[in-house]
Chains A and B, each alone.
Chain A
């Protein structure tokens, strides 16, 4: 059984750095072709892909947010961490972690964590 869970602060102040952790089980990030991604969804709005890290440690970032994002993995802990710098109220959203098996789809999603940016 595959499980995915996001963790991190629910409230951050403008200009602060957000650090989110995705912890998963039943899924191996050392298998060739697999990846773990982050997707966010502002309240009432569409899904927005943020970042993806592959089994070989290659990384992809949303072009519009690339300068603010860093994604890393710890395969020994089955964790992927996303940091986003210089947070702004417009970054208020539910942040999802999702697992990508060898194919290109995100097959398994966490429940999401709502992050509010406010002073």
Chain B
């Protein structure tokens, strides 16, 4: 069971907007530690998608955006495309244990 909770799956039609939640606690996201998001397309290595809650690395389309509120973070994807289909993971730091924590991952299906 992951310290950060993500929905197992989300889906949307091409062009639509979807959001993926990442729920933590007062010892990680709620304590002010940043949330980062990774995209893992089928058969590929995880790729950093969002860092520091809201920042996109160079080359990541602005269709992807991150937000944070309290002990939760969210990843929003607008203008869904077929190539967005894959797994998405959130990651943060847990201050009470001084460890890195990942969410359990969310499988995005583009209908």
Contact = CB atoms under 8 A, between A and B. Distances in A.
Contacts of A105: 34, 36, 48, 51-52, 91
Contacts of A49: 91, 99-102
A104 B102 contact: no
Interface residues of B, number: 27
Contacts of B61: none
Interface string A12-56: 000000000000000000000000010100000011110010000
Size class of the A contact interface (CB-based, 8 Å): 20 to 34
Given A103-B51, A105-B91, A107-B57, A61 B99 contact: yes
Contacts of B47: 109
Given A106-B91, A110-B45, A47 B105 contact: yes
Nearest to B46: A109
Contacts of B104: 46
A52 B99 CA distance: 8
Interface of A: 37, 39, 46-49, 52, 60-63, 96, 98, 103-107, 109-112
6 contacts: A39-B46, A49-B91, A49-B101, A104-B34, A105-B52, A107-B57
